[in-house]
Amino acid sequence: MENWRHNVGHGRDWRWRGWRTHYSYQRAVDPTGSPLLLLHGFGGSVGHWRNNIPFLAGHHSVYALDLLGFGQSQKVMTDYGVGLWLEQVYDFWKTFIQRPVILVGHSIGSMVALALATKYPQMVQGLVMFTLPDASVLGPAWLRSRPLQQMTNLPLGVIKRLITFPPLFLPCFARFVSPLC
């Protein structure tokens, strides 16, 4: 079995609100790009980025965070949800990065990234979201909120249809799976 742990950068633990959380960091070889902050999906971990971190670290400093309750982060008795993870990621950014990042979210991580971009725009230079969960199933109030709809001047249903409309989605998907410049 491949030992993938060397591909996820330098793993460290960080105390957030008294809870142990895990993250990984890899400095850019040629730091020409903005820092990236990778947010895994439901049931994921820093390890899910093992094939991406070495490549992305060619031009970007890369941070990957195990959301509380996942990966090597502590599993605690609390109300888990986008709001909790939003505050965890924002505090992580304030503690370690302190400059605008490109948020890369997978599944539930994409919802956290979108919530961060909405609530803390000063921390976000760019946003990459893929495998978005169906917000109606997860039911986060912030996604159905009036401010988000007012930012786009479109109803949520229209936004969802635009994001998943094949003539728009497929070229974007092709770009996401190709190497970053």
Q: For the purposes of burial, counting CB atoms within 10 Å of the CB of 139, is it exposed (0-12), middle (13-18) or buried (19 or more)?
A: exposed
Looking at per-residue confidence, does 7 or 77 come out higher? 77
Query: Span 138-154, mean pLDDT?
Result: 51
Active site residues: 40, 107
- Closest Cα partner for 42 from 100, 142, 112? 112
Entry pTM: 0.72
Q: What is the pLDDT of residues 101-120, one digit of tens each?
A: 999 999 989 989 999 999 99
- Closest Cα partner for 104 from 95, 114, 94? 114
Domain 4-139 has CATH 3.40.50.1820: yes
Looking at per-residue confidence, does 89 or 29 come out higher? 89
All structural domains of the chain with their residue ranges: 4-139
Looking at per-residue confidence, does 135 or 163 come out higher? 163
Q: Beta partners for 15?
A: 20
Dihedral sign, Cα of residue 180, residue 34, residue 148, residue 95: positive
Mean pLDDT estimate for the chain: 80
When pLDDT is cut at 50, 70 and 90, the band that residue 18 belongs to is very high
Among 81-90, 105-114, 166-175, whose mean pLDDT is lowest?
Answer: 166-175
